[in-house]
Amino acid sequence: MKATFGRQAIPAVMAIFLLCSATAVQAQSGSTVETPWSVEIGVGWDNDISGNINSSGIGTLRGQTVVILKNSYEDVYGTGLHLRFGGGYMFRPNTEFRATFTFQSLDADFVVPMGDIGVSKLYGQYTDYQTFGLDVGGRRYGNITDKIRGYGEATIGIGFVDKTDVTLVAPSINLSGQANDFYDQTAAFALGFGGGLMFQTGERWDLFTQVGFRWMSGMAHTDDLQATGLDTMNDKSSRWTMPFIAGIRYRF
C-alpha cells in the first residue's frame, strides 16, 4: 500500500490541526452542555466536481501505437453512495469536536472510450471505486429557531482506497479482456468542509441535512505502464466531490 498527499493541502491541514488542538484543550475545563455526547449516521450521494480517473497519453501497447483520452470520474462512475457514521463531543453550547467514519462507493457501470490502438478503437471497463476512512474536525452551530440550528464544519482525515483495475478491449484487432492493474490500494489524504441544518425532533433526537465539499488526494499507480510511454496517465487522480447527506443524531 502506498500513501499520497497533496502539497496544496498542507496549509489547510495545519489550520484544522490547530483548531482541533484548541478544542481539545478547552474541553478539559468542563462542559456546560447537559448532553454533550452524540452519535449520528447519515447517508447520501457524491456528485463529482473534478478529477480524472485517467489522463491522456501517447505510447505503445502490445507493439502498437496507442492514444489514450482522458476520462473523468463522472465519465466512468457517475454519482455514488456516501455513508458516514461517528460521534461528537460538545464542549461548548455551540462548538463540537467530531470523529467520523466515511464510506464512499462508486459502481463502474459504463464501458468508456479510452482512445485508439493501431487501427482500432480502444475501450475500457474499470472496477468499482471504494474508500473507507476516518475524518476528525470541528463543527460550529448557530440558532435559527428554538428547534432549528445551522452549522458549518471542517475536517481532515485519511481514506483507504481499494485497488483499481481496468479491462481493455479493442474489437478490430481482437484485443479482448486484457486486464491492467491501474492503481494500487492507497492511503489517501482527505479534506472536507460543509454546512447543514439540524432539526430537533425530540428531547435527545435530531434530524439533519448537509451539503459540502470533499477532496481526496490521488491514488498510487502501479508499474504496469512503465516503458510504454503511458506511465503518466494515472498520476493526476485526486478528486473533488460535493456530498449531499441526510441522517439522524442521538444526544446523550
User: What mean pLDDT comes out for the span 99-121?
Assistant: 90
The helix/strand/coil state of 109 is coil
pLDDT band of residue 108 (cuts 50, 70, 90) is: confident
Is it the case that residue 14 has pLDDT exceeding 60? Answer: no
pLDDT band of residue 61 (cuts 50, 70, 90) is: confident
Q: What is the pLDDT of residues 223-249, one digit of tens each?
A: 666 556 677 777 788 999 999 999 999
- The DSSP code for 128 is P
The predicted structure's pLDDT at residue 27: 41
The predicted structure's pLDDT at residue 26: 44
Give the per-residue SS3 of 32-97. CCCCCEEEEEEEEEEEEEECEEECCEEEEECCEEEEECCEEHHHHCCCEEEEEEEEEEEEECCEEE
The helix/strand/coil state of 27 is helix
Q: How far apart are CA 178 and CA 176, in angstroms?
A: 6
Is it the case that residue 5 has pLDDT exceeding 90? Answer: no
As a residue count, the chain comes to 252
User: What mean pLDDT comes out for the span 20-35?
Assistant: 52
pLDDT band of residue 64 (cuts 50, 70, 90) is: confident
User: What mean pLDDT comes out for the span 75-81?
Assistant: 88
- Sign of dihedral through CA atoms 223, 224, 228, 234? negative
pLDDT band of residue 2 (cuts 50, 70, 90) is: very low
CB 148 within 8 Å of CB 123: no
pLDDT band of residue 200 (cuts 50, 70, 90) is: very high
**Which one is predicted more confidently, 223 or 151?**
151
User: What mean pLDDT comes out for the span 107-122?
Assistant: 88
pTM of the model: 0.79
Q: How far apart are CA 158 and CA 160, in angstroms?
A: 7
Q: How far apart are CA 138 and CA 94, in angstroms?
A: 11
**Which one is predicted more confidently, 178 or 183?**
183
Instruction: Dig out the grid coordinates for 230 from the structure.
Output: 503511458
The predicted structure's pLDDT at residue 177: 73
Q: Any residues with CB less than 8 A from the CB of 28 and at least 6 apart, and which?
A: none
Q: How far apart are CA 13 and CA 77, in angstroms?
A: 29
pLDDT band of residue 10 (cuts 50, 70, 90) is: very low
CB 42 within 8 Å of CB 247: yes
The predicted structure's pLDDT at residue 178: 67
**Least confident range of 13-22, 113-122, 157-166:** 13-22
